[in-house]
Amino acid sequence: MAKTSLMVKASRPQKYKVREYNRCKVCGRSRAYMRKFGMCRICFRENALKGMIPGVVKSSW
């Protein structure tokens, strides 16, 4: 879980657009963010295995 202060800081509008960065909507993690799903890799994996993300299935070949 990320620091609450950093999550609040990221949610505020920045003075310059380039200073904005993405955070996971679930846990607030800033690294390994997947833009398409709006969450980090850890939360994505947990939710995908639970079947909470539509259209995502575990691959096998």
3 annotated ligand-binding residue:
no
CA–CA separation, 34 and 53 (whole Å): 13
27 annotated ligand-binding residue:
yes
CA–CA separation, 7 and 61 (whole Å): 39
Residue ranges of domains in the chain, CATH in brackets: 22-53 (4.10.830.10)
Amino acid 36: pLDDT: 94
40 annotated ligand-binding residue:
yes
CA–CA separation, 19 and 52 (whole Å): 32
Amino acid 32: pLDDT: 94
Return all residues near 10 (Cβ < 8 A) that are at least 6 apart.
Answer: 20, 21, 23, 30
35 annotated ligand-binding residue:
no
Tens-of-pLDDT digits for all 61 residues of the chain? Answer: 778 898 888 889 999 999 999 999 999 999 999 999 999 999 999 999 999 999 998 888 8
